[in-house]
Amino acid sequence: MGQVLDGVRVLDFGRYVAGPYCATLLGYFGAEVIRIERPGGGEDRFITPVTEAGEGAGWLQMGVNKRSLTLNPTKPEGREVVRRLVATADVVVANLPPPSLVAMGLDEASLRAIKPDIIPVLISSFGADGPWAARGGFDGVGQAMSGAMYFSGTPEQPMKAGAPYVDFGTGMFAALGAMAALMERRASGRGQTVQASLLSTGLTLFNAFLIEQAVTGIGRVGTGNRVQTSAPSDVFTTLDGHVLIHTVGDGLFARWCDMVGEPDWKTDPRFAGDQARGDNNAVLCARMADWCATRTVDEAVTALAAAGIPGGPVLSPQQALDHEQVRATGLFQPVDYPGLPRPAPVAGPPVTLSATPGTIRSRPPLVGEQTDAILAELGYGTDAIQALRDARIV
């Protein structure tokens, strides 16, 4: 069965999460992805090591369906390899500051001089313009500068989310942009540049709260897990763990009142509407805390489901791996890799297509595993490849 991006070649110059994950998403749906990294392997290969050689958990997720070419693109011989690669490619993904892009020949002007219809996907920390355009950053900076970190913790302790959602969100947005640019190129023959940034992603995901602040000047401060615009919506302690409940809308609130034995609260003026309930969340959350305190996690989530109220257990990483619903999704696919004690549960495509589904077709490559093969495809002979190795270009 063919896939949506069959025949598309993607060059992945990305590092850490946003750029590599963009390329990974394209690879799920059939694109040929070549990961270009420095000789010895990029630094993002070795974060959270899990293999005998020290490769990291993130690399196992980001590296599937890719081929690996090691390269030093800052030297003339390396720039020539880049030139030949770009001439064969459709999409170039790079998340580097503008000066680094120029030094490596990956800026828009350099790429278009090689292939006019190329689609550069350029991912930065703070965007292409503005006084911070040349600065680097990571996921946490995007969380911090969006307002989300301030709002997620407490006034005494802002709290970053453990999951790097800004990184992954930026990769997703960049992949969406790449797909749109490929569609336009198929229609018109014209390539275009896709820009994405961690800051733009963070601001986009937190936009509703920023709109509220701009329009009303309300000046909210963080209240941890407790939601301020509805109630009861918080994390509550049970006899053997914790559950999260989110009650929004009059219908859910009425069902919640019946579940906890407070039917009169359905007509109580203190709780007339989501914001009123949010303003009086101390009363509602205290009642929910009492209700949860006499039940186990399983008893609580079973009762919530029976009442039609959204809620779920707060799971540890191992509990998440073992949970029956997580297993039923089929998201995780076992991927073996040299030096792993057992196959790794790697998340496949986060979206499914009924006719042309994305797939994990190959394990992540070892450092430079396909270097010789890729160089040969570009027209380098055996002696020329050896010369590049001797000069530490590859």
C-alpha to C-alpha distance for 254 and 176, rounded to whole angstroms: 40
Residue of 44, 90, 107, 167 marked active site: 167
Chain center to CA of 379: 36
The predicted model scores a pTM of 0.94
Tens digits of pLDDT across the chain (394 residues): 689 999 999 999 999 999 999 999 999 999 999 999 999 998 899 999 999 999 999 999 999 999 999 999 889 999 999 999 999 999 999 988 778 888 888 999 999 999 999 999 999 999 988 999 888 899 999 999 999 999 999 999 999 999 999 999 999 999 999 999 999 999 999 999 999 999 999 999 999 999 999 999 999 999 999 999 999 999 999 999 999 999 999 999 999 999 999 999 999 999 999 999 999 999 999 999 999 999 999 999 999 999 999 999 999 999 999 999 999 999 999 999 999 999 999 999 999 999 999 999 999 999 999 999 999 999 999 999 999 999 999 9
What residue segments make up the domains of the chain, in order of their start? 9-205+328-390, 233-237+242-313
Q: Tell me how far CA of residue 161 lies from CA of 144, 158, 280, in angstroms.
A: 10, 10, 26
167 is catalytic: yes
Q: How far apart are CA 185 and CA 187, in angstroms?
A: 5
**Strand, helix or coil at 235?**
strand
3-state helix, strand, coil in the chain (%, to 5): 45, 15, 40
Report pLDDT for 1: 61
**Is domain 233-237+242-313 annotated with CATH 3.30.1540.10?**
yes
Chain segment 328-384, per-residue pLDDT in tens: 999 999 999 999 999 999 999 999 999 999 999 999 999 999 999 999 999 999 999
Q: CATH classification of 9-205+328-390 is 3.30.420.140, yes or no?
A: no
Tell me, what's the pLDDT at 83?
95
